[in-house]
Amino acid sequence: MSPRQQKELLFFSGIALLFVYPIIHANFYFQDDLLRVLQGYTGWETSGRPLASIVQLLLSAAKPYMLIDVAPLTQILAALLLALSAFQFNEYLKREYHKGLIIASALIIVNPFFLFNLSYRFDSFSMALGLFLTVQAFYLPLKSRLGSKASIALLIASMSLYQCDINIFIALAAIE
């Protein structure tokens, strides 16, 4: 990684952590979060998000039906994944158009929709991981069969984490 790329990644990380700090500081629970804390269940597989349950159980080192609240770790990791997503999108712009647009790439982070998603103590990491996988699917060169198949697999994994991430893919395709 070049010094310029390191500065850009640090910039994106700083923005993401700046945006997530008030959410962490507020330290509140959504109704979904309260039920998860009280009953310890995941329940995302019934909503079509089976990978979200697996990721959260791994992250909290818990057994099924014994979910542990590890926030704000989940929210910090989600913010860092948002920063990495913005960085990757900026690298994509550099590769394809020979010019990165830091402000346009930062919109992935300052998107009010995802800022709201960071408020969910349990869901935030899987949502941000889904966004990251969506950006990765878009970032991969599609000139080879392997790239195309990997992109499809990443999109399927993304949809298994958070279905709304497909909107990000549509937005990135529209930019293209």
Going from the C-alpha of 76 to that of each of 21, 36, 63, 93, the distances in angstroms are: 9, 19, 23, 26
Q: Which residues are CB-contacts of 136 (< 8 A; sequence separation ≥ 6)?
A: 88, 154
| C-alpha 79, offset from chain centre | 8
Stated pTM of the model: 0.89
pLDDT averaged over every residue in the chain: 85
Low-confidence ranges of the chain (pLDDT < 50): none
Q: What would the pLDDT profile of 85-99 be if each residue is shown by its tens digit?
A: 999 999 998 988 888
Please compute, for residue 129, the number of CA atoms within 13 A of its CA located in the half-sphere on the CB side.
20
Predicted confidence at residue 62, as pLDDT, reads 67
pLDDT at 65: 65
pLDDT at 43: 75
